Homo-oligomer: A and B are copies of this chain.
Amino acid sequence: MSELGVRAEKLDAADELAGLRAQFVLDAVSGHAADAAGVYLDGNSLGALPAAVPGRVDDVVRRQWGELRIRSWDESGWWTAPERIGDLIAPLVGAAAGQIVVGDSTSVNVFKAVVGAVRLARLAALKGSGTTGTGVRDEIVVDATTFPTDGYIAESAARMTGCTLRPVTPAEVPGVLGDRTAAVLLNHVDYRTGRLHDLPSLTAAVHAAGAYVVWDLCHSAGALPVGLDEHGVDLAVGCTYKYLNGGPGAPAYLYVRRDLQDRFDSPLPGWTSHADPFGMRPDYEPAAGALRGRVGTPDILSMLALEAALEVWDGVPIESVRAKSLALTDFFLECVAEYVPSGRVECLTPVAHEERGSQVALRCEDAGDVMRRLIERGVVGDFRHPDVLRFGFTPLYVGFADVERAARVLAETLRVSGGGGG
């Protein structure tokens, strides 16, 4: 065994989170010969299946739907699932209870949050409570390097609120903020490079300009501490199918800071966010609290699968998860440096811990071909157009031996593949 292989065994033996792997379905046969000893490094795209989920879903389908039917809205707690499950996510992102509701896709929640932020900014400007006075608040600043849906939805929000969209890099954000800024939409971790942005200081900069910030936590929630309450974040959204393992297309969530909730003015005021939803009243009156982020009838099957998936977090401190995440990505970078010929790949992920999420992105010209071969050999990451190999490290179920093996197979694959240097 190589020296790094021995190191991996020692690291795994000392890993206090190692036991959590047994709570996931990871070693099933999946059609590829190599998968019996496969390494799943795509949990930043679709988290693995928690072992508690199949039985729960079966109960939801057969008993709650099949037998209790309509009575389950009360008796099985369907009606209150969005806020109940929101409260399960809350501690993972540093939020006290009562500020998160689950439902809809991330894109739809970005729309609610950005429009909501613009309206909050204008309300504050009207009341003269903005820290920089009463500007017109007609600009939405968005991270130009963001996952594209955020940019598309922010553009629609801008168009529908009479704002101009201003796409800049996160580094440029502080320099463009001013008394015209209404809302700023930022990604906590860049989906492509894995770069972690400085949430506390960017949030403070947005607030100093009298604007409101929306953070997209898709690539950070469940991998590292977010500290929404601590840092005074206004609004946040995130998906639940990456590091939270909620399942394919599982419902997303919306965080609205408690003291903003009574002014949060959703562009999607569906009946389930009404103060008296079964009153069937013609006039809309929003519910108190985070509930006003709800829209239509909650998607129960997916939502209760997510609830079961979140049970693995019971008693798991997010700080331990972060420590292991950094150890995993450090070790992967070390193995890649050792095994992969110099210059064959370029690392896009920052080396500094405070700038790194829980993934490593490697650039090489033949990335699409390389990832195909890697997957054939049971090492599953993903390819991002045009030239990025993306490897996600989910601390709940990825171990150090997995990391060493992935780097070794990657090196072998890169040697066989004919592509040019990175």
Question: How many Å lie between the Cα of A197 and that of B29 in the bound state?
Answer: 54
Q: Mark A126-137, 1 if CB is under 8 A from B, else 0.
A: 000000000000
Contacts A149-B270, A280-B148, A299-B249: A49 and B61 contacting too (C-beta < 8 A)?
yes
Contact yes or no, A105 B29, CB < 8 A: no
- Inter-chain CA distance A353–B111, complex, in Å, is 43
- Residue on B nearest A150 in the bound complex, by CB: B271
Q: Is the CB of A70 within 8 A of B46?
A: yes
Q: A28-B66, A49-B62, A270-B153 are in contact. Are A300 and B108 (CB under 8 A)?
A: no
What residue in chain B is nearest A271 (Cβ atoms)? B149
> Within 8 Å of chain B (Cβ to Cβ): is A175?
no
Instruction: A192 to B282: give the CA distance in the assembly, Å.
Output: 13
Asked whether, in the complex, the Cβ of B248 is within 8 Å of the Cβ of A72, the reply is yes
Could you list 6 A-B pairs, sorted by A, with CB under 8 Å?
Answer: A31-B67, A49-B66, A65-B247, A65-B248, A152-B284, A278-B385
Q: Which 6 A-B pairs have the closest CB atoms?
A: A105-B296, A107-B270, A107-B296, A149-B271, A248-B300, A49-B66
**Given A70-B46, A105-B296, A248-B78; A57-B241 close (CB under 8 Å):** no
In chain A between 47 and 106, which residues have their CB closer than 8 angstroms to a CB of chain B? 48-49, 53-54, 57-58, 61-62, 64-73, 78, 104-106
> Interface with B: A154-162, A341-349, A354-362, A410-418, which one?
A154-162
A144 in contact (CB, < 8 A)? yes
Give the docked Cα–Cα distance between A133 and B282 (Å).
Answer: 33
On chain A, the number of residues with a Cβ less than 8 Å from chain B's Cβ atoms is 85
Q: Which one, A3-11, A176-184, A301-309, A327-335, is touching chain B?
A: A301-309
Q: Is A25 an interface residue (CB 8 A)?
A: yes
Q: Which of B54, B152, B156 contacts A61 (CB 8 A)?
A: B54
Contact among B106, B241, B298 with A249 in the assembled complex (CB-CB below 8 Å): B298
Residues from 239 to 292 in A contacting B, C-beta threshold 8 Å: 239, 241, 247-252, 266-272, 274, 278-282, 284
**A45 interface residue (CB < 8 Å to B):** yes
For A106, give the chain B residue with the smallest CB separation: B296
Q: In the bound complex, do residue A152 and residue B105 qualify as a contact, i.e. CB atoms below 8 Å apart? A: no
